[in-house]
Amino acid sequence: MFELKPIDGRKSFYGKAIVNKEMNGGYSLRSYDTTVCFTDGDGKIHKLWDGYSATTMRHINAFLAFVGVDGGGKAWWDALPVWNGGAWWLPKRAKQ
């Protein structure tokens, strides 16, 4: 688990954007106290949170850059379906 770094020239997200390495080979993003999205082992983004805020979108955009996935922005986020495959990945954190 580590703090995500901004990609927009700001110094820090001040502990409000946390990335976790998952046992499935992917990563999850926690913005504030909510896990908002994750990547599966193939690098596909899955949306878990159906809300929107400008700050969380900055976190998501930086997460996309970190995992090397194209996308980002409000229209892109709004177009993603909310993942309904269960929370199988949440308790399976990789050991650091």
Is residue 96 very low, low, confident or very high in pLDDT (cuts 50, 70, 90)? very low
- Parse the chain into domains and list their residue ranges: 2-79
Strand 45-47: give its sheet, edge to edge: 2-3, 17-21, 27-31, 34-39, 45-47
Q: How large is the average pLDDT for residues 11-17? A: 96
Which residue type occupies 49?
A: W
Confirm if 31 and 59 have CB atoms less than 8 A apart: yes
Model confidence over 44-92: pLDDT tens digits?
999 999 999 999 999 999 999 999 999 999 999 999 999 887 654 454 4
Looking from the CA of 55 toward its CB, the CA atoms found within 13 Å total 10
pTM for the full predicted model: 0.86
